Amino acid sequence: MNPDWIAVDWGTTRLRAWAMDGRSPVAEAASEDGMGRLTRDGFAPALHGLLEALAPGTSVPVIACGMVGARQGWVEAPYRQVPCTPVGGPLTRAGDGGSVHIVPGLRQDRPAADVMRGEETQIAGFLGLNPGFDGTICLPGTHTKWAQISAGEVVSFQTAMTGELFGALRDHTVLSHTLDDADDEAAFAEAVSDGMSRPEALAQRLFALRARHLLEGTAAGSGARASGLLIGAELAHARPYWLGMPVAVVGERGLAARYAAALRAQGAAPMVTRADACTLAGLGAARKILKEAS
């Protein structure tokens, strides 16, 4: 196997790499060496170890996106200011002989301060796969992004910590004894509607899940209800982004399906696209920028 280049998605918890032949992945490898478990001098060994398993003896350019370019990452890749294209130069070189190039994130100062790393690459990939798209892209995750797109540029965006809040409720609050893992579509849909109509009651509605468990002896659907309440409150705040707009959801299958279902219940017709396909297409766009600059 002789790949042309290596695509890398380096998040807080995971490191993923693909050996690429042009636009096509020919091999994939992953490890748990995310940014969160590495010191600055640990990034190069973590990448080298993964690449030796993926494409031993290969020396080709590596294009990376995500938290590898954060302030706590391998080397900080400066943010680009919106409005701008989702991916643009210059890419930042890591301290690895110049073969590793990191995609910069995006920043927004007004109307509210915000940043993204990694999602800009998925946005670029989505636009490459869906040329001419104007509207809103929702990228569900630990920190869900809502990005307004016009004429191929990210005009504005906002972030909701919905995924992280759900994890904190499940693992570090009294609800850890209550929330189940059942995929209850009816409970989720009802809770989304409740969360949207009464976002100010979110804290009370969440505790009611605990009370129901204690008084009625059942926790059935509680995880789906908590998820629905949180996503419903998020959709209520993000309404200007999706109401009456073309909407795309880019994410991992399960979470993307939940957001798409919540949006459909409000009359939207979201297009759903897998995150991996967009990440690879976006890293391909970054590689093209690098080649044109060299």
Q: What one-character-per-residue DSSP string does the chain give?
A: ---SEEEEEE-SS-EEEEEEETTEEEEEEEES--GGG--GGGHHHHHHHHHHHHSTT----EEEEEGGGSTTSSS--PPEESSB-SS-SPPEEPTTTT-EEE---EEE-SSS-EEESSHHHHHHHHHHHSTT--EEEEE-SSSEEEEEEETTEEEEEEEE-HHHHHHHHHHHSGGGGT------HHHHHHHHHHHHH-GGGHHHHHHHHHHHHHHHS--TTHHHHHHHHHHHHHHHHTHHHHTTS-EEEEE-HHHHHHHHHHHHHTT---EEEEHHHHHHHHHHHHHHHHHHH-
Structure-block tokens of residue 192: 């989304």
Residue 56, pLDDT score: 86
Are 241 and 136 a contacting pair, CB within 8 Å? yes
Amino acid code (one letter) for 41: D
Q: Nearest to residue 138, comparing CAs of 1, 249, 257?
A: 249
Sheet holding 62-66, edge to edge: 24-31, 15-21, 5-10, 62-66, 100-102, 92-93
Residue 45, pLDDT score: 94
Residue 97, pLDDT score: 64
Which of left, alpha, beta for 97 (phi over 0: left; psi -120 to 50: alpha)?
A: left
Residue 2, pLDDT score: 85
Residue 208, pLDDT score: 96
Preceding omega of 83 cis (within 30 degrees of 0): yes
Indicate yes or no: pTM above 0.85.
yes
How many residues does this entry show for the chain? 294
Ranges of residues in the chain with a pLDDT under 70 are 96-98
Residue 96, pLDDT score: 63
Distance CA 56, CA 129 (A): 31
Are 222 and 206 a contacting pair, CB within 8 Å? no
Residue 15, pLDDT score: 96
Residue 58, pLDDT score: 80
